[in-house]
Each structure stands twice: as structure tokens, then as C-alpha cells.
Amino acid sequence: MDLRGNGRFSGFEGWSVGGAEKSRCGYASAMDGASTGTGAIRIGHGYDLHRLEPIAPEGKGRPFVLGGVRLEHDRGPVGHSDGDALYHAVTDALLGALGMPDIGELFPDDDPRHDGQDSAVFLDEAVRRVRAAGYAVGNVDCTVILERPKVKEIKDRLRANIAERLGVGVERVNVKGKTHEKVDAVGEGRAIEVHVVALLVRAGGGS
């Protein structure tokens, strides 16, 4: 596969093809036009953190929802919406890859319409924008940093939920669970933190 100079890129799998020089040229070609909202591939990073408090009325915590999964826990996220930090970070990774305004700009936390909102609504809108821009999700890699409850036990459900919302197979979604080694707010169970990286490929690009 010759990636040089023709402005074409065959998609996600194309990266493993060819030597170093071709890869370099392929990268330059694939990223052509990225600053103008085009390009064969685009990468985005999403980050979110929510404070965890006792569930209302004892505290300000909402029932704990993560990646669309309801968790039984004595604390829950504080937030204007349902506080789903994983869906929020995936949403921001997709929007970031598109070079669009972030979740806080699109869905302000002082808008009463989003009070207690199911965060799937935000993620679905980001997915709609990905498709409208002519892209498909290559893959997403998520890291959830949470002391309790353990992410390990619900990892498969998180992957399945995200994959369903993105309209891709579960093999394109990865979820890793980590603790914060009992230090700082996250380690003390007072917050949840999520990082997500998403790769978008030009739809019909051979992925």
C-alpha cells in the first residue's frame, strides 16, 4: 500500500502496513486537513472527575451510575446530570476528536433541562455529530479510577453499554479499572476520575 502523496488512507488497520518511512508519510497524509475539521483519522481525549458524596438527602450524591450501569454504593456522584463520569469522558473524547465544543459548553450545568439527565443523551449527541461529520469510531480506550465499588466486576457491562451507544462491536471498546492507592480524594473514595482516548476514522475508509 502506497500512502505517499495521494492523500488516501485505507483506515485503522493501515497503520501496521509498511516501513517507518511509509508510516510517517501515511501519518502526514492521514492528518491532512485536520485543522479544518477533515482528515482520515482524528484522535480525542476526554477527562472527567466527579465528587462522591453520601446519597441525598444525607449528602448531595446522586444514585451511582457509571457507563449506564447502576451501582449499589453508599456514595454517589455530585453533578447536574446523573453524574455518569464515564459517559461524560467518552462524550468529550468524541467531541474533542471532532474539534467541537466540550460537553460543558454543549450542555451547560445551569440548564434546568439537564437536571438529573441520563448522560446517554449527551453521548448519543456526540455520536450523532461523529456520523454527521463523516467519521466512524475506530476504537475507544477508557481508564476508570475508582476505589470502590470495584470496576472489575462490571467491566464487561460497561464495555457493552458504551459499544451499543457508539454503534460498534465491543472489541472496539476497552475499559480499565484502577484504584488511586488510597491517596488523595479519589483514593479516599471521595471522587471518581475517568480518562478516555478515542480514535475516529473517516467513514467508509476501510476499517
What residue ranges bind Mg ion (CB under 5 A)? Answer: 48, 88
How far apart CA 131 and CA 96 sit, in angstroms, is 14
Amino acid at 130: V
CB of 22 to Mg ion, least distance (A): 40
CB of 56 to Mg ion, least distance (A): 17
CB of 91 to Mg ion, least distance (A): 9
CB of 85 to Mg ion, least distance (A): 5
Longest CA–CA span in the chain (Å) reads: 63
The residue among 41 and 126 lying less far from Mg ion, judged by its C-beta, is 126
CB of 118 to Mg ion, least distance (A): 13
The residue among 27 and 47 lying less far from Mg ion, judged by its C-beta, is 47
The residue among 48 and 193 lying less far from Mg ion, judged by its C-beta, is 48
Sorted by sequence, the CB contacts under 8 Å of residue 150 that are 6+ apart come out as: 177
How far apart CA 39 and CA 144 sit, in angstroms, is 29
Q: What residue is closest to Mg ion based on CB? A: 88
The residue among 8 and 180 lying less far from Mg ion, judged by its C-beta, is 180
Residue 190, C-alpha cell as written in the block = 471521595
CB of 58 to Mg ion, least distance (A): 22
How far apart CA 197 and CA 44 sit, in angstroms, is 6
Cell 467491566: give the residue.
155
Q: Which residues pair with 70 in a beta bridge?
A: 65
How far apart CA 11 and CA 131 sit, in angstroms, is 16
The residue among 66 and 166 lying less far from Mg ion, judged by its C-beta, is 66
Q: Is 58 left (phi over 0), alpha (psi -120 to 50) or beta?
A: alpha
Give the C-alpha distances (Å, rounded to integers) separating 68 from 18, 46, 63, 186.
40, 17, 12, 20
The residue among 136 and 146 lying less far from Mg ion, judged by its C-beta, is 146
